[in-house]
Amino acid sequence: MKWIIIILGGLLFALGSLWFLQGTGLLTVAPIACVGECKPLEGPSMLWAVAGAAVMAIGGAVILFAARR
């Protein structure tokens, strides 16, 4: 069970890192599965940078919590 929680924390951290890098404008990824008119995120976005940092922090906390158990 401990390893499953660590893996989930790692996935959260990786997803948060992606959102943070896209929000700061350091990384640009084209949309993959679009249903309508999808536009890539261009330029910095404070919302995605803050959301990414928060998810990274949560993922890191989950990893630390599971590793200390």
15 CB-near residues (< 8 Å, 6+ apart): 55, 59
- Alpha-carbon torsion, ordered 22, 26, 32, 35, to 10 deg: 50
- pLDDT at 62 > cutoff 80: yes
Q: What is the pLDDT of residue 11?
A: 97
42: tokens are: 């261009």
Tokens of 58: 């949560």
Let me know if residue 58 belongs to a domain.
Answer: yes
> What is the average pLDDT across 11-34?
88
Return the higher-pLDDT residue of 56 and 44: 56
Residue 21 lies in a domain: yes
| Residue 51 falls inside a structural domain | yes
Residue 52 belongs to domain spanning: 2-25+44-68
Position 7 in a domain: yes
Tell whether 48 is covered by a domain.
Answer: yes
Whether residue 68 contacts residue 28, with contact meaning beta carbons closer than 8 Å, is answered with no
**Is 39 a residue whose pLDDT tops 80?**
no
Report how many domains make up the chain.
Answer: 1
